[in-house]
Amino acid sequence: MGLSFWQIAIVVLLFVLLFGRGKISDLMGDVAKGIKSFKKGLTEEDVDMADSEEPKVIDQKTETVVNDKNSEKTNS
């Protein structure tokens, strides 16, 4: 048993009567701001990860952190 058009229309009409048109539009505006903020946060995180330093490499023998991949350490 599915919902008919009239049942959906009555529910929407009651929703509008209870909350009013102004509150519904404010609510939708807040939802849109939240979505934009979420997307902005995701893109900033991607940019931060791309701009971050190269991963640190730990020398297993000396257990020291090597930041530059091109530098070679000589053990005495």
Distance CA(26)–CA(46), nearest Å, equals 31
Distance CA(60)–CA(49), nearest Å, equals 26
Residue 28, pLDDT > 70, answer yes
The CA-based dihedral angle spanning residues 29, 34, 38, 41, taken in that order and rounded to the nearest 10 degrees: 100
Q: Which domain covers residue 11, as residue numbers?
A: 7-52
| % the chain with pLDDT above 90 | 25
Whole-number pLDDT of residue 63 = 63
Whole-number pLDDT of residue 16 = 86
Q: Contact 62/74 with Cβ under 8 angstroms?
A: no
Average pLDDT, the chain: 76
Residue at 23: amino acid letter: K
**pTM over the 0.85 mark:** no
Q: How many domains does the chain have?
A: 1
Distance CA(38)–CA(44), nearest Å, equals 10
* Residue 7 banded pLDDT, cuts 50, 70, 90: very high
Residue 11, pLDDT > 60, answer yes
